[in-house]
Amino acid sequence: MELKEKLIASFMAFENQVDMNNPVHEIRSEALKTFETKGFPHRKLEAWKYTSLDRLQKVDFSLFPKEDNDLEYRDVKKYFLDEMDTYKIVFIDGIYSSYLSETTHDGVDICLLSAALTKPMYRPIIEVYFNKAASREDSMTSLNTAFTREGAFIYIPKNKAPRKPVEILHFSTGNESALMLQPRNLIIAEENAELQVIERHQSLTSNETLTNSVTEIYAAKDAIVDYYKVQNDRESASLIDNTYIDQKGNSHVSVHTFSFGGKLTRNNLNFYQDGEHIQSTLKGVTILGEKQHVDHHTLVHHQQPNCESHQDYKGIFGQRSTGVFNGKIIVDKIAQKTNAFQQSNNLLISDKSTVNTKPQLEIFADDVRCSHGCTIGQLDKDALFYLQARGIPKKEASALLMYAFANNVLESVRIPEVKQRITKLIAKKLGVRLGFEL
């Protein structure tokens, strides 16, 4: 049975495990119908031209993991940002691990979506926010919505800020021969609230994992949200990340995506600006090797005047890796004085690596500043010779130049520990000891 049929057939079993009287269940059922009609996206669709899910659909994924897969902290410590104190929402094979987590209800809610969906006190919040920003047409998002049960729930009330960042970690143990996960995160920052989140998916064995994740982020007036996605998974892991961000007036939201691993990664990152003086920041560093594939699809929809968006993606592609950047900017007719910037710069460091990059601008207002630029190139020979002539060997010199190339994306990372961790990952990924602390 192909994956689509298997998913649809398993929905009834899923229904037996959830409360069908919950209003959310109607949303699930609707979403399943959408998925049933549309099925998995295929390469004849313009948006999926360069990313094929064909192979994954032939894998016999388990859809409901076993309940009792434990992990010892010492075995997974390195995947946490252990150099600093954080709240932690940890899942093992899709199941919440209270042992590895550190949640809170002290003034802010940093906990589980399953709790938020079932407890009456959260019902008003769920009614206002759940599945409002997420697409109801997109088939992968609908598939996730249909099977919504678990994930992170973060609610920061007006004028509040948690005292430390939140880490959302998904581990897959490989206890199933192949496992499909569909986490669902709901993140709300009310007026003038602040929040920092680090999200990571990590598979621990070479057994295949497919994650189809949906995250909704709501930033109310004056709220500030910084979100960091660390994608450094094994060759056996594939990720389809669907993130929807709804911003109100004067809010600032940034999403940094660090893609250093995984077999296939698709990032659908969607920003909707619903207010004035909004700032949206989308940044990415992609460093790939082997036969890895990363596809960044971004959308920024400017729906109100006087807003800004800033996109800056750097990609370094080695061996047979492939990359895609497709950046869509829509500026509505009333969104005058929009300032939208988009840049995608790519280095091909192997003859067999490829990258496809495409800006897509739909501008209906006449008084806007929109600039975009895509480059695909190789390491600057003059710069390489300059460094070598100073005694820096070619390999280290290349790494230094690649680091310099990716570096300006890190400048906007506001958590020093995250910045340091990422620079270390970059150095490791480039396979060198740089003669100084980055």
Q: Which residues bind another protein (CB under 8 A)?
A: 380-383, 385-394, 396-397, 400-401, 403-405, 407-408, 434-436
Q: Between residues 63 and 401, which has the closer beta carbon with respect to another protein? A: 401
Q: Distance (Å, rounded) from C-alpha 414 to C-alpha 287?
A: 21
Which residues lie below 8 Å from residue 371, measured CB to CB, with a gap of 6+? Answer: 340, 341, 342
Q: Which is nearer to another protein, 47 or 387 (CB)?
A: 387
Report the Cα 157 to chain-centroid distance in Å.
24
Burial bucket for residue 124 (CB in 10 Å: 0-12, 13-18, 19+): exposed
Comparing CB distances to another protein, the nearer of 237 and 392 is 392
Q: Which is nearer to another protein, 147 or 405 (CB)?
A: 405
Question: What's the closest the beta carbon of residue 310 comes to another protein, in angstroms?
Answer: 17
Tokens 């598939």, residue located:
143
Least distance (Å) between residue 172 CB and another protein: 35
Please, what is the minimum distance in Å from the beta carbon of residue 389 to another protein? 5
Give the residues across from 270 on adjacent strands: 244, 299
Q: How far is the CB of 405 from another protein (least distance, A)?
A: 8
Task: Let me know how many helices (H) and strands (E) the chain has, helices first.
Answer: 10, 20
- In this structure, the number of other CB atoms found within 10 A of the CB of residue 379 comes to 17
Q: Coil, helix or strand for 18?
A: coil
Helix (H) or strand (E) holding 121: none
| Least distance CB 25 / another protein (angstroms) | 51
Q: Smallest gap, in angstroms, from Cβ of residue 328 to another protein?
A: 28
Nearer to another protein, 10 or 407 (CB): 407
Given a contact cutoff of 8 angstroms between Cβ atoms, the answer to whether 392 and 236 are in contact is no
CA distance 279 to 287: 27
For 25, the 3-state DSSP assignment is: helix
**What's the min distance (Å) between Cβ of 429 and another protein?**
16
Nearest to 7 by CA among 181, 172, 165: 181
Q: Based on CB atoms, which residue is closest to another protein, 205 or 408?
A: 408
Whichever of 244 and 405 has its CB closer to another protein, that residue is 405
